[in-house]
Structure formats: structure tokens, C-alpha cells
Amino acid sequence: MNIESIKNGYVIDHIKPGKSFEIYNYLNLGELDTTVAIIKNARSSKTGKKDIIKITDNLDINLDILGYLDPNITINKIIDGKIVEKCHPDLPNQLVNIVKCKNPRCITSIEQELPHICELTDRENAVYRCKYCEEKVNK
């Protein structure tokens, strides 16, 4: 299969196989008026398989979402066909309105305008807890 390189935009690389559609949805890429390519199960010398997302537009990418979903990914910013910036998002210390607390007794269930804030409590195991009720939040 031949996948063309992009002239301007982003390449989100080294995505865990099968996670590309989750990232696509979290970043609301379906709402963009630009070309987005998803390559699933591409060969990888490091991991065997990987997913890749190519976006042919410069936009603000929420690194917190990407760090939360898959902290092993690489984000390449492409300008004029060359990589001008490369980053590896880390697990964010805090997530705001990315995941929702499932505890029915949490204040966020009652007060709809409150932001859903989750804090990283165990970096080694990637455990987040609701700031208000301390309920463990699952992906």
C-alpha cells in the first residue's frame, strides 16, 4: 500500500494499534473540513504494528488528550514537506472536560455547569481521580 506524505499538517505516529479511531473522536477530527487519513496496523520495527493519523491542516492539537489516551505516541508537525517539530506528550497532571466522573453522587452529576476535573494520582499506573469526589476515572 502506498501512503503519500503530506506537505503541511500533522502526523500522529506510533499510536497503539486500534486506538486511532478513539483519538479521531476525542480530537473531533470528523468535524474538520480537511483531509484526515487513518492508517491502521501499519508495520513498525519497534512494536510490530501501529496506527498513524495524518491531518493535512495546521490546527491546535490538545496534547492533554493525546497524553492521556496514549503517552507513547509521537506528534510530527509538517511544514513544506519537512518535520519542523516533534513532540511526545506525557500524561497530564490534570484533565479538564476530557473524561467524566461516573459517580452518581458526585457534584458534577448535579451541577451541570461544573467542569469535570480529574487529577493524576498514580503516574506509574496512569490512575486519574475526580477532583470533587476522588472516584477513580476509567478510560
Q: What is the pLDDT of residues 29-52, one digit of tens each?
A: 988 888 899 999 888 888 889 999
Q: Which CATH architecture has domain 9-87?
A: 2-Layer Sandwich (3.30)
Cut 0.85: pTM above it: no
- Select from 108, 69, 68, 121 the least CA-distant residue to 91: 68
What fold is seen in the domain 94-137?
Answer: SH3 type barrels. (2.30.30)
Q: What is the pLDDT of residues 10-35, one digit of tens each?
A: 999 999 999 999 999 988 898 888 88
Number of separate helices (H) and strands (E) present in the chain: 3, 9
